[in-house]
Amino acid sequence: MNTFSKLTFSVLFLLINIISTQAQKPVDYVDMFIGTSNSRWMLGPYAQEPFGMIQLGPDNQGNVWMGGYEYAINSISGFSHIHAWTMGGLMLMPTTADLALGNPSVDSPYKGANAGYHSRIMKDTEVASPGYYSVFLYDHEVKVELSATTRCGIHRYTFPKRKESRVLVDLLFPTEWDYGFKVKDAKITKVSNTELEGYADCQSGSWSSWNEYKLHFVIRFSKPFQALNGWNEGREYDDIETIEGKNDIGVYALYTTEKDEEITVSTAISLVSVEQARLNMDAELAPLDYNFDTVKTQTRDKWNAILSKIKVEGKNEQDKKKFYTNLYRAYAGKQTWNDVNGKYMDACENVQQLESGNMYGGDAFWNTYWNLNGLWSMITPDIVDDWVTTQLEMFKHTGWTSKGPAGLEYSGIMEGSHEMALMVGAYQKGIRKDGEAIYEAILKNVAEPGINHPCGGNCGNPQLDTYIEYGYMPMERGVVSKTLDYAFDDWTVGQMALVLGKKKDAKKFIDRSMNYKNAFHPVAKYVTRRSEDGNWDPNFDVFSNQGFIEGNSWQYSWYVPHDIPGLVQFLGKDLFNSRLEEGFEKSEEHKFAAHVFDRTMGQSAEFYINHGNEVNMCTPFLFNYSGKPWLTQKWTRAILNSFYGDTPYHGWEGDEDEGQMSAWYVMGAMGMFEMTGGVDANSKVELASPIFDKITIELDQSYYKGKTFVIEAHNNYKENIYVQSVTLNGKKLKEPRILFSEIVKGGHLLFEMGSTPNKELFK
């Protein structure tokens, strides 16, 4: 090849690569399998819309912690519709092999028909993207494709030629944890030979028995079935019109199929009634003609619309994949629980009618104020708006807000009532205007001790009276870490009182928020257990988990988000910095250094930084308060690059609580973090080291004045992790943070990057 030809080829190759890259949409970067070998029940490769009631996808494990889908298992037991925390329901499975109705765990190798109706799969046939999942079931020779709307699922099964093909509907199957859920009562009725309807009265098992819900469903088949058979508790029934029972119960539709024959199965669910499930189907699937490809395209477009609200530009395609996958996860773990007409079932099993908006549910708001709330409020304030509606509706009808409203119930999960931070932040950021209503709802959580709710579960802050009496949580009464969570709750309510002009309340709760100081040993300067008589724990161990929720004293001693300057003053800058630096250095030297940061609950003496759980996620940004912002830049980059991966076996090394860890990546990659969660008036966003050359945030002008906020990082190469200078709209910043209000007004944040720290940057 001559020189001219070589040059022409090189230019052509470069142009093809540029065009290919430009054609990539944000949705194309999402890898649904990242982290799915270390993931929660709520975060599998499911077909769903953002905040979908339906999370339709494969299950392949028994009732185990992190149950549901495990990437490393080459089998699938079925495709279930609900993957909400503590909830499950409605599994379908196409089969053609010898009839098997039982379906024990597929954690062990397939042993023929007697082992159950599950099937082996070939991993190279498994495909997933936002709103779509597909796999070939090896033992049944069926190709499965799945998609979904918010409240409906759609299955497309491509069968082989068989005299007997089946579509099984199973109402009892393994979920997350080791106790699954129970079916107390169920009924499936044949409406016609193309439609089924029914319900399953479910109860989550063991400690989560507070969550009882009645799952109603409608199932429609594109091809009439020849017969409907069923089973219940070991007995089989042929040619049925209806079946009722409890525990193990299901039906299967029988077909004779030709080679490559497609059968589409449409499903809809509701927690209110069968009629509501049918309404959901008529509203969401009928306008799409029950067409699988139309549903798939619509759902993909909805995902792309959300993901496109942040456009990132840079040299590293791997970073883009990680960014958009984590952005996707921030909207994939929680659910919508109202039907299309606004009806929903409240915590006391009464039907309520929503005037506008949506009712959302999910796991705890434990420290989501740092990242998840901030991300949502920045690019989807309408979702934050609806979250506040959810909490105010719960307060109105069942008496309390909920810290973890799974299925709109009172789970009582995790510490403090940090849903209040989302509510107050929504007001401070201008997303909500009903400050008095918000204040009435949140005041109860800091004025009255939490209770066991008469309709199940618990709500509020348990032992609040003890905390108020002693100014801390005595070791005889509870964990010392409650002191820190309750102090932040006090501060949250105090900030709301302050902005509403309630000066007496503001002083009371802001003063009480300083109770955190009562948990710090005056000499050791670590959070330490103390007794009712005020004596400090004589057996104190900084790395012991005794007296702490999912953490230890070293980690919790940084957990004072509302008064970091006070913490710096208490420790002194030198001790503050040396202690924190040691923690990061020790963590990086840890024997699990391939992943850098601890993936456990941080209860071993070897662990310092525990990015894998909530209370320690603030630590790299603390250097912004202690005069060493370059260390914030260094360690946020280290976490982004090493803690978060891009394979099924290394996605995030910790307990991903429905989007908080993912949101940390998204915000961190943009060089941002909300230390106080937007709770205070004129709240500020911490700055670090953005990993992309350019980031364009599209703002919602229904809520904010600005159109876009642009972040640029010049000279942004892999080794250039340190900020040399930073300006906002052309003005040099005097501190490593900016007002949230400056972001949503629209503007331009410009970083100049370099390979060595600029220690004079903010001096």
> Which helix (H) or strand (E) covers residue 4, if one does?
helix 3-23
Are 54 and 159 within one domain?
yes
Q: How many other β-carbons are positioned within 10 Å of the β-carbon of residue 590?
A: 17
Can you read off the two tokens belonging to residue 751?
């970083």
Are 89 and 217 within one domain?
yes
Are 257 and 326 within one domain?
no
pLDDT at 601 over 50: no
Note whether residue 618 is domain-resident: yes
**pTM confidence score:** 0.94
Are 322 and 225 within one domain?
no
Residues 6+ positions from 596 with CB-CB distance below 8 Å: 587, 588, 590, 638, 639, 642, 643
Looking at residue 106, its pLDDT comes to 55
CA dihedral in degrees (73, 76, 81, 82; nearest 10)?
-30
Note whether residue 410 is domain-resident: no
Can you read off the two tokens belonging to residue 237?
């029934």
- CATH number, residue 213: 2.70.98.10
Residue 650 DSSP SS3: strand
- With a pLDDT cut of 90, the percent of the chain lying above it is 83
Are 89 and 219 within one domain?
yes
Note whether residue 510 is domain-resident: no
Residue 176 DSSP SS3: strand
pLDDT at 444 over 90: yes
pLDDT at 583 over 70: yes
Nearest to 194 by CA among 263, 273, 277: 263
Are 320 and 281 within one domain?
no
Nearest to 622 by CA among 710, 677, 686: 686
Note whether residue 565 is domain-resident: no
> Which helix (H) or strand (E) covers residue 187, if one does?
strand 181-192
Looking at residue 598, its pLDDT comes to 40
13-22: pLDDT as tens digits: 454 444 444 5
Amino acid at 706: G
Note whether residue 342 is domain-resident: no
Residue 653 DSSP SS3: coil
662-701: pLDDT as tens digits: 999 999 999 999 999 999 999 999 999 999 999 999 999 9
Can you read off the two tokens belonging to residue 43?
């975060």
Report the distance separating Cα 552 and Cα 32, nearest Å. Answer: 33
Cα 394 off chain centre by: 21
609-640: pLDDT as tens digits: 888 888 889 999 999 999 999 999 999 999 99
> Which helix (H) or strand (E) covers residue 230, if one does?
strand 227-232
Beta-bridge partners for 228: 253
Report the distance separating Cα 463 and Cα 533, nearest Å. Answer: 17
Q: How many domains does the structure of the chain reveal?
A: 2
Please enumerate, as own/partner, the contacts of 437-440 that have beta carbons within 8 Å and a separation of 24 or more: 437/392, 438/388, 438/392, 438/496, 439/493, 439/496, 439/497, 439/500, 439/502, 440/395
User: Are 166 and 252 in contact, with CB atoms under 8 Å apart?
Assistant: yes
pLDDT confidence band for 208 (50 / 70 / 90) = low
Residues 6+ positions from 156 with CB-CB distance below 8 Å: 144, 145, 146, 262, 263, 264, 265, 292
Mean pLDDT of 373-395: 98
- With a pLDDT cut of 70, the percent of the chain lying above it is 93
pLDDT confidence band for 758 (50 / 70 / 90) = very high
Looking at residue 2, its pLDDT comes to 56
Looking at residue 147, its pLDDT comes to 98
Are 268 and 333 within one domain?
no
pLDDT confidence band for 1 (50 / 70 / 90) = low
Can you read off the two tokens belonging to residue 418?
């940090």
Report the distance separating Cα 438 and Cα 417, nearest Å. Answer: 14
Helices and strands of the chain, counted as H and E runs: 17, 33
Report the distance separating Cα 369 and Cα 675, nearest Å. Answer: 8
Out of 289, 306, 323, a domain closes at 306
Beta-bridge partners for 216: 199, 270
pLDDT confidence band for 594 (50 / 70 / 90) = very low
pLDDT at 727 over 50: yes
Output DSSP code: residue 447.
H
Are 211 and 323 within one domain?
no
pLDDT confidence band for 105 (50 / 70 / 90) = low
Instruction: Label the pairing between strands 310-313 and 351-353.
Output: unpaired
Nearest to 33 by CA among 158, 123, 144: 123
Are 147 and 208 within one domain?
yes
| Out of 66-80, 488-502, 518-532, least confident range | 66-80
Note whether residue 523 is domain-resident: no
| Out of 114-118, 358-362, 426-430, 555-559, least confident range | 114-118
Are 97 and 245 within one domain?
yes
pLDDT at 193 over 90: yes
Amino acid at 418: H
Output DSSP code: residue 206.
G
Report the distance separating Cα 425 and Cα 336, nearest Å. Answer: 21
Report the distance separating Cα 151 and Cα 336, nearest Å. Answer: 8
Q: How many other β-carbons are positioned within 10 Å of the β-carbon of residue 254?
A: 16
User: Are 419 and 489 in contact, with CB atoms under 8 Å apart?
Assistant: no
406 phi, psi to nearest 5 deg: -60, 125
Mean pLDDT of 701-714: 98
| Out of 56-65, 142-151, 281-290, 666-675, least confident range | 56-65
Note whether residue 433 is domain-resident: no
131-160: pLDDT as tens digits: 999 999 999 999 999 999 999 999 999 999
Can you read off the two tokens belonging to residue 106?
């597929």
- CATH number, residue 616: 3.30.2080.10
Are 645 and 674 within one domain?
yes
Note whether residue 247 is domain-resident: yes
Output DSSP code: residue 109.
P
Range of the domain at 194: 46-306
Beta-bridge partners for 147: 154
| Out of 111-120, 699-708, 718-727, least confident range | 111-120
Residue 639 DSSP SS3: helix
349: left (phi over 0), alpha (psi -120 to 50) or beta: left
pLDDT confidence band for 545 (50 / 70 / 90) = confident
Per-position b or e across 398-419, b if 16+ CB within 10 A of its CB: bbbbbbbbbbbbbbbbbbbbbb
Mean pLDDT of 323-352: 97
Looking at residue 603, its pLDDT comes to 40
Are 319 and 269 within one domain?
no
